[in-house]
């Protein structure tokens, strides 16, 4: 924001055709004496604008309800006919104009604007009617209904299950030990967050981010219609920014770490098996490069099942249940819409 200046609007006399009368100075036509019509006001070009010194802005003009003369908003009675102004309407103001730096304001084309307003007034009635009958929002309704059907279908598919009778056809067990190896691993990080035990370090300069740096100003000039025969002009400036890359040191290095290398498994198909952990052949604890160690252990016990129509299912169960279940034992099982077993519903039949 900076200082603002006030200038006269121009107006044309619609009775005698006198052009470029001054909005504030000429409340009546200097040629024929007719009252100014505020709707015939327009912005002048930059060349023709006339400054108003020490302008006291009191608001948009009030139009005399008796004789249509525009009066200062501060007046109580019409300066032309003396009628009280309390019920008078305010003068309509024009849209603000904006120009970028280096551009010039041209004079408004008043005749073109009046023609446009006239056309709009003539075309308004049938247009409004059409908008009313033709604007049933059927498309959003259809989309909404389809979305409801789809989400309803999805919820149904996710929750629908049927209960079926199954019997046990077999057992399976498996145990797994994950093995890790102590290895030299290549990695990279910003040097300020590199691990302390990194070695074989090489540094490069790389872009880590960017920052916004002020880079001059974008200014434009705005004209605003005061509605009292004048307009104010002011410059509005905004700081412009450009993006600057920010560089930092990137480190490439090696570190020695335990890394997953293999899994050792044991499995079987009988409750009578001797269930043991598999042998990883790791002989001793060590922590030099190439050494191995045992990590996570996991075990699963699975029942093989058969339902109506010879459909086969598999369900993991607790070891105790697995061990206590015999071939041909009967259960009930919930099955989803795609035939997927819901194993947490597996229940021994009555
Ligand atoms: Zn005139
Ligand atoms: Zn009057």
CB within 8 A of 220, min separation 6: which ones? 98, 99, 100, 101, 235, 236, 237
297-311 tens-digit pLDDT = 999 999 999 998 889
Write phi, then psi, for 263 (nearest 5 degrees): -120, 140
Position 143 scores a pLDDT of 92
Position 133 scores a pLDDT of 52
Alpha helix positions (H), 57-190? 110-133, 138-159
Question: Which numbered ligand comes closest to the C-alpha of 11?
Answer: 1
- pLDDT-derived band at 88, boundaries 50, 70, 90: very high
Report the separation in Å between the CA atom of 41 and the middle of ligand 1, taken as the mean of its atom positions. Answer: 14
Question: Which numbered ligand comes closest to the C-alpha of 77?
Answer: 2
Q: What is the 3-state secondary structure (H, E, C) of 33-86?
A: CCECCHHHEECCCCCCCCECCCCCCCCCCEECCCCCCEECCCCCECCCCCCECC
Report the separation in Å between the CA atom of 12 and the middle of ligand 2, taken as the mean of its atom positions. Answer: 20
Report the separation in Å between the CA atom of 202 and the middle of ligand 2, taken as the mean of its atom positions. Answer: 89
Question: Which numbered ligand comes closest to the C-alpha of 82?
Answer: 2
Residue 130 pLDDT greater than 90, yes or no = no
Q: Which burial class, exposed, middle or buried, applies to 345 when counting CB atoms under 10 A from its CB (0-12, 13-18, 19+)?
A: middle
Report the separation in Å between the CA atom of 19 and the middle of ligand 1, taken as the mean of its atom positions. Answer: 9
- For the beta carbon of residue 186, count every other beta carbon within 10 angstroms: 9
Could you give the CA distance from residue 23 to residue 231 in angstroms, rounded to a whole number? 9
239-252 tens-digit pLDDT = 999 999 999 999 99
Question: Which numbered ligand comes closest to the C-alpha of 17?
Answer: 1
Question: Average of pLDDT values for 7-19?
Answer: 95
Distances (CA, A) of 349 to 148, 171, 237, 331, 337: 39, 18, 81, 5, 22
Question: Average of pLDDT values for 120-147?
Answer: 72
Could you give the CA distance from residue 297 to residue 176 in angstroms, rounded to a whole number? 6
Q: Which of 299, 282, 295, 298 is nearest to 179 (CA)?
A: 295
Position 125 scores a pLDDT of 55
Question: Average of pLDDT values for 61-84?
Answer: 92
Query: What's the pTM value of the predicted model, to 2 decimals?
Result: 0.51
Position 161 scores a pLDDT of 87
pLDDT more than 90, % of the chain: 74
3-class DSSP assignment, residue 113: helix
Residue 127 pLDDT greater than 60, yes or no = no
29-41 tens-digit pLDDT = 999 999 999 999 9
Distances (CA, A) of 72 to 58, 95, 202, 219: 8, 21, 79, 33
Report the separation in Å between the CA atom of 30 and the middle of ligand 2, taken as the mean of its atom positions. Answer: 18
194-210 tens-digit pLDDT = 999 999 999 999 999 99
Report the separation in Å between the CA atom of 15 and the middle of ligand 1, taken as the mean of its atom positions. Answer: 5
CB-proximal residues (5 Å) to ion ligand 1: 13, 15-16, 18, 29, 31-32, 34
Position 306 scores a pLDDT of 95
149-181 tens-digit pLDDT = 999 988 888 888 889 999 999 999 999 999 999
Could you give the CA distance from residue 318 to residue 173 in angstroms, rounded to a whole number? 11
Residue 137 pLDDT greater than 90, yes or no = no
Report the separation in Å between the CA atom of 198 and the middle of ligand 1, taken as the mean of its atom positions. Answer: 91
Q: Which of 343, 330, 335 is nearest to 168 (CA)?
A: 330
Question: Average of pLDDT values for 265-288?
Answer: 90
Question: Average of pLDDT values for 67-88?
Answer: 92
Could you give the CA distance from residue 53 to residue 67 in angstroms, rounded to a whole number? 29
């Amino acid at each position: 924001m900076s200082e603002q200046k006030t200038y006269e609007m121009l107006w044309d006399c619609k009775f005698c055709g006198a052009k470029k009368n001054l909005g504030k100075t000429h409340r009546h036509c200097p040629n024929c004496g007719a009252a100014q019509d505020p709707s015939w006001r327009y912005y002048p070009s930059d060349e023709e604008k006339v400054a108003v010194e020490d302008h006291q802005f009191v608001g948009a003009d009030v139009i005399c309800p008796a004789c249509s003369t525009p009066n200062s908003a501060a007046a109580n009675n019409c300066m032309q006919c003396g009628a009280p102004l309390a019920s008078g309407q305010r003068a309509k103001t024009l849209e603000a104009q904006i120009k970028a730096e280096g551009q010039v304001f041209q004079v408004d084309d008043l005749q073109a604007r009046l023609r446009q307003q006239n056309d709009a007034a003539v075309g308004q009635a049938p247009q409004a009617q059409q908008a009313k009958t033709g604007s049933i929002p059927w498309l959003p309704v259809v989309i909404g209904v389809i979305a409801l059907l789809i989400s309803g279908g999805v919820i149904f598919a996710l929750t629908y299950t049927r209960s079926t009778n199954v019997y046990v056809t077999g057992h399976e067990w498996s145990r797994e030990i994950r093995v890790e190896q102590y290895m030299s691993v290549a990695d990279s990080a910003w040097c300020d967050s590199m691990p302390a035990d990194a070695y074989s370090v090489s540094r490069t300069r790389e872009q880590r981010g960017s920052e916004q740096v002020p880079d001059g100003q974008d200014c434009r000039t705005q004209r605003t219609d005061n509605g009292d025969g004048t307009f104010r002009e002011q410059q509005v400036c905004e700081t412009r920014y450009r993006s600057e890359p920010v560089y930092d040191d990137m480190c490439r290095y090696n570190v020695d770490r335990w890394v997953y290398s293999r899994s050792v498994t044991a499995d079987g198909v009988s409750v009578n098996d001797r269930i043991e952990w598999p042998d990883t052949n790791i002989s001793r604890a060590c922590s030099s490069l190439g050494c191995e160690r045992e990590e996570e252990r996991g075990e699963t016990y699975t029942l093989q099942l058969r339902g109506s129509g010879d459909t086969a299912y598999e369900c993991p169960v607790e070891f105790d249940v697995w061990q206590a279940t015999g071939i041909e034992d009967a259960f009930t099982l919930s099955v989803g819409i795609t035939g997927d077993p819901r194993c947490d519903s597996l229940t021994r039949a009555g």
